[in-house]
Structure 1
């Protein structure tokens, strides 16, 4: 099922971990509506970047979210978030730096540059966090910082 011109439901629900653990990661109807909004946000990001966006993690049902070590309040569980990279554009840091000043324009509720356990990606969500200083942050193994910080 195609959600937008460049993003499908299969792409936003794909999970090697779910397949390995035989977890059914099919979203319920209310989550499917939110995934539509997430795909639309991803389309705006793709248009801004001018290159393909790769979704490394999208919707996670609660059992899958637990299996990957996600927090219980994760926007992935509600279909409102995606972890992305854009290798044809640049590094996750470069992507986050481009997107940070455009969060309101692009409908990004929260933007997180993540660099943990040797991996880097950009987390985008349609939900604006309760504490606005958490809207654009960097998370590393050392913790969270406001804004987009250089990853080592």
Structure 2
């Protein structure tokens, strides 16, 4: 099922962990509605970056979320978040820095630049956090920091 011109439901629910462990990663009807909104956000991000956006982790069932070590309250479980890269634009740090000033204009609820264990990606959510200070953050081996911080 194509959600938007460049993002499908299959792409936003693909999980190598689910396949490897034989876990069901089918979203609920409510999560599917949220995935539609997420795909629309990803389209806006793609248009702004001028490069394809690759989803490395989208929707996660509770079982898949536990298997990957996600927090129980993860926006991924609700279909409201995706971890992305866009090699045609630049590194995840460059992507995060390019998007941070535009979170409101692009409708990004939360932007997290994550660089942990030698890997880096950008987490985008449609949900605006309760505390505005948590809208743009960095998560790294050093912990959580406000804004977009280099390693």
TM-score tier (shorter)? over 0.9
Q: Summarize deviations over 1:43-77 as a string: whole Å, max 9, x none.
A: 00000000000000000000000000000010000
- The reply on whether 1:103 has 2:103 as its aligned counterpart is yes
Query: Which residue does 2:65 correspond to in 1?
Result: 65
- The reply on whether 1:136 has 2:136 as its aligned counterpart is yes
Query: Which residue does 1:31 correspond to in 2?
Result: 31
The two structures have a TM-score, normalised by structure 2, of 0.99
CA shift, 1:101, in A, is 0.4
Q: Distance in 2 between matches of 1:114 and 1:49?
A: 18
Alignment of 1:1-152 (within 5 A): 1-151=1-151
Q: Distance in 2 between matches of 1:66 and 1:10?
A: 20
CA shift, 1:142, in A, is 1.1
Query: Unaligned regions of 5+ residues in structure 2, if any?
Result: none
Q: Distance in 1 between matches of 2:36 and 2:108?
A: 14
Q: Distance in 1 between matches of 2:70 and 2:83?
A: 12
Q: Distance in 2 between matches of 1:140 and 1:30?
A: 31
SS at 1:77 equivalent: helix
SS at 1:10 equivalent: helix
What value does the CA root-mean-square deviation take over the aligned residues? 0.4
The two structures have a TM-score, normalised by structure 1, of 0.99
Query: Unaligned regions of 5+ residues in structure 1, if any?
Result: none
Q: Distance in 1 between matches of 2:118 and 2:134?
A: 23
SS at 1:55 equivalent: strand
- Count residues in correspondence: 151
